[in-house]
Amino acid sequence: MLIGYGDLMATGLSCDPFGAYRAYDAELQRLLFASSVTDSDIAAHLDGMAYHRLRQIVPLEARRNSSTFFTSTETRARLVGPYRTLIARGASILDPACGVGDLLIAASAFLPRTWTETRRYEHLAARFYGVDLIPVLVSVARKRLQLAMRPHQVDANSGELTELRLIRSGDGLSSEVPYDAIQLLLLNPPFKRVTLPRAETWGEGLTCEAAPFVLNALERCNPGTYAAAILPDVLRSGSRYAKWRGEVERLAKISAVEIIGVFDPWTDVDVFILRLRVRDVARRRMLTGSDKWCLARARAAAQTVLGDVATISIGDVVPHRHQVSGPTVPYLSVPSTPIGETITSAPTRQFLGRLHEPPFVLLRRTSAPTRGGRRLAPSIVDGIVGAAAIENHLIVVKPHDQTLATCEKLVDELVRPEVTHWLDARLRTRHLTKSALSQVPLSGWQGTAANLHEP
Ligand SMILES: C[S@@+](CC[C@H](N)C(=O)[O-])C[C@H]1O[C@@H](n2cnc3c(N)ncnc32)[C@H](O)[C@@H]1O
């Protein structure tokens, strides 16, 4: 169902782009059996070294196509930490897209120190499951897990380690993966965009591969199974994943949603942690519009929000799509709309579609979260410009009272740090949405929609 590494190979895109990573696998093999190894040698390989080598050896395009982006030590500890007691009690654990084993390594740290090394290793060999499509990653994952347990399990006679057979290569969603035998599911699934083979109740067409992966995995877990996933923020805050969120809540109860921010310095994707407990089949009910995903402060009863005082619309002109025909009108695009200025004249173009009558505030639609600075970049368009066509990368915020004074008041509001913080919690995708903007809380207005008149 999902397009993965196997398909990548089948398309003959390249010969095995991960082939050269076998040299790193061999290095770990030598380390496992070396007569003198320091703790700091081992620590480096359990920390970022495996990923560092991958980035050096495997081209970015191949890593993107196969979603091989591995979780940092800090984030994996944060993901797994709340399950320390469950793990210490001997829970079975599965990472069905395990890469080089980072999430399982984090879990192994919580096996009780009171157990002997042999017991801990045997427990890991019998209860930790990992699957990945790329065989060399599985081989590296096994060796890293063995290093995490320290190489004390070397059989003095054979010079071999008990094999970690439950860490294996294959499709993590295949029927052989024993979801029904686990108590804790750990996930950082592939994020790339794929086309769903058929329409689902929650979506169709192009989607983030993590969305079907999570649902597929949850469907197969026993009721009561704990699940913790690192997921792209678009699944939490994107309006097109609203039905997917409903589907997740049908299958599992949300215990926590935690914003992480950017995944790591090399992967410019905002992520969040989702903690779940799989529901009993009898308790599965479709839920939509749950507010558990939205960490922005909910509207208080007397709070005025932007949607109460202004109409918000996305600009209509897509330059490469719209023909240059129709009447010649003022036209505002990103380059002709300097941030922070009041615009009194505009270039022109021919356009047949909707025009916007100023005064209004224009916002950049692209707005990256938490990279410092303000989230919103407003300009004011003066009434003198006349009814204008607006480029699709801009958002029109038109006050209901249609005055320049309200535009100015709105700009003062929108650049407040509180608005940036609120938006960062509400939405961490690159594009602002109408629904998020309409909920932005305003501090300088009294009353709610009921007593704020529209002309
Ligand atoms: C984002 S990485 C995460 C790896 C690991 N869980 C971590 O957190 O570091 C996703 C991994 O999923 C693997 N993968 C993609 N599709 C898969 C599938 N259908 N079954 C198993 N592994 C898959 C990729 O090879 C990649 O190693």
Full DSSP string of 14-68: SS-TTGGGHHHHHHHHHHHH-S---HHHHHHIIIIIHHHHHHHHS-HHHHHHHT-
Helix (H) or strand (E) holding 7: helix 5-10
For residue 363, list its beta bridge partners: 378, 395
Q: How confident is the model over 273-312, as pLDDT tens digits? A: 999 999 998 777 776 666 788 766 666 666 889 999 999 9
pLDDT digits (tens, 9 = 90+) for 199-217: 999 999 999 999 999 999 9
- Residue matched to tokens 């040299």: 23
Q: In the prediction, which pLDDT does 10 show? A: 40
103 lines ligand 1 (CB under 6 A): yes
- Is the overall model pTM greater than 0.85, yes or no? no
- Over range 64-92, report the average pLDDT: 96
Residue 43: band (very low, low, confident or very high) from pLDDT cuts 50, 70, 90: very high
Cα 230 to averaged position of ligand 1 atoms, centre (Å):
12
Measured from the Cα of 209, ligand 1's closest atom is 16
Give the model's pLDDT for residue 1: 40
Count of residues for the chain? 455
Q: Among 16, 166, 177, 188, which residue has the most ligand 1 atoms within 8 Å of its CB, making it the best to mutate?
A: 188
* Dist. CA 133 → ligand 1 center (Å): 7
Pairing mode, strands 441-442 and 394-399? unpaired
Cβ–ligand 1 contact at 190 (below 6 Å): yes
List CB contacts of 167: < 8 A, sequence separation 6 or more.
Answer: 98, 101, 104, 128, 129, 130, 131, 138, 141, 142, 145
Measure the CA dihedral 263/266/268/274, to 10°: -10
174 CB-contact burial (10 Å; exposed 0-12 / middle 13-18 / buried 19+)? exposed
pLDDT band, residue 88 (cuts 50/70/90): very high
Would you state the structure tokens that stand for residue 295, as one six-digit string?
């960490």
SS (H, E, C) 343-407: ECCCCEEECCCCCECCCEEEEECECCCCCCCCCCCEEEECHHHCCEEEECCEEEEEECCCCHHHH
What's the gap in Å between 88 CA and the centre of ligand 1?
25
Which atom from ligand 1 is nearest to the alpha carbon of 137? Answer: 27
271 phi-psi bin (left φ>0, alpha ψ -120 to 50, beta other): beta
Residues 134-148 have a mean pLDDT of 95
Could you tell me if the CB of 97 is within 6 A of ligand 1?
A: yes
- Alpha-carbon distance of 133 to 116, in angstroms, equals 33
CA of 208 to the centre of ligand 1 (A): 14
Q: Given a cut of 50, is residue 449 above it in pLDDT?
A: no
Q: Is the CB of 209 under 6 A from ligand 1?
A: no
> Which of 98, 140, 184, 266 has most ligand 1 atoms within 8 Å of its beta carbon, as the pocket-test mutant?
98
CA 29 – CA 36 distance, rounded (Å): 14
Say which range, 29-33, 83-87, 223-227, 255-259, has the weakest mean pLDDT: 29-33
Nearest CA owner, ligand 1 atom 27: 99
- C-alpha separations of 94 from 13, 128, 217, 247 in Å: 31, 6, 10, 22
| Pairing verdict, β 394-399 and 310-314 | antiparallel
> Which of the listed residues 133, 174, 271 should we mutate to test ligand 1's pocket, taking the one with most ligand atoms within 8 A of CB?
133
